[in-house]
Amino acid sequence: MSKFIKTNIYLGFLILFSVLVLLINLRMNIFSYNNFDFGKFDLGNMSQMLWNTLHGRVLWLTDYFGTNLPRWAMSHVDPILLLFVPIFAIFQHPLTLVVSQLFLVIFSSVLVYLIADLELKSKPAALAMALSYLLYPALGFLTAKTGFHGVSAAIPFFLAAFYVYERLYVKNNVNRKGLVIFWILLILFMTGKEQLPMYVFFYGIFIWLFRQNFRTGLTMMVVGILWFLVAFLVIIPAFAHYRVDGYQKFAESLNLDTTVTRDVENDNYFLSRYEEFGDSYMEVAFNMLTRPKMLVQVFFGGDKLDNLRRTFEPVAYLPLAFPPLLVMAAPDFAINYLTTAGGIGTAEISNHRISMIIPVMFISVIYAIGFLSRKICYGKWKNIHTLYALCALVLGMNIYTTFEYNNPVYLWLTQAVQKRLLGSIAYAKFDEETAKRNDIEIGEVLRLSQLENKDRECAQKIISMIPDNASVSGPDYLGAHLSLRETYAIFPALYQEADYVIVDVFSRKILTILEADITLVRDVVGDVIKNPDYQLATGCGNLFVFKKVGPHDKVTLLPLQEKFTYSEKFNYEIFQSVAVVDYNIPRELTRAMPAKANFVYIKRDNNSLDAYVLFMTFINKKTGEIYQIANLPSFGLLQLQNWQEDVYYLEDIELVLPSYLDPGEYQAFIGMSNVIRTRSIYLGDVKVN
pLDDT at position 594 is 83
pLDDT at position 488 is 96
pLDDT at position 510 is 57
pLDDT at position 94 is 96
The pLDDT tens digits of the residues spanning 15-73 come to 999 999 999 999 999 989 998 889 998 899 999 999 999 999 999 999 988 999 999 99
Q: What is the DSSP letter of 41?
A: I
Give me the numbers of helices (H) and strands (E) for the chain, helices first please: 26, 19
pLDDT at position 420 is 47
Question: Please, how many CA atoms are within 13 Å of residue 57, restricted to the half-sphere of its CB?
Answer: 16
pLDDT at position 215 is 95
| Euclidean distance between CA atoms 94 and 103, whole angstroms | 15
Q: Which CATH architecture has domain 432-451+557-688?
A: Sandwich (2.60)
Check if the beta carbon of residue 684 is closer than 8 Å to that of residue 589.
no
Q: In sequence order, which residues have a C-beta less than 8 Å from that of residue 111 and are 6 or more positions away?
A: 156, 159, 160, 163
| Euclidean distance between CA atoms 127 and 117, whole angstroms | 8
pLDDT at position 10 is 94
| Euclidean distance between CA atoms 557 and 596, whole angstroms | 14
Among the residues of 255-303, which ranges form H helices? Answer: 281-290, 292-299
pLDDT at position 26 is 95
Residue 437 CA from chain centroid, whole number: 42
Domain positions in the chain are 432-451+557-688, 456-548
Residue 653 CA from chain centroid, whole number: 34
pLDDT at position 685 is 95
For the whole model, what pTM was predicted? 0.84
The pLDDT tens digits of the residues spanning 66-102 come to 999 999 998 899 999 999 999 999 999 999 999 999 9
pLDDT at position 423 is 42
Check if the beta carbon of residue 188 is closer than 8 Å to that of residue 83.
yes
pLDDT at position 419 is 46
List, for the chain, all residue ranges whose pLDDT scores fall below the cut of 70. Answer: 1-4, 6, 257-263, 343, 377-382, 414-428, 452-455, 506-522, 555-557
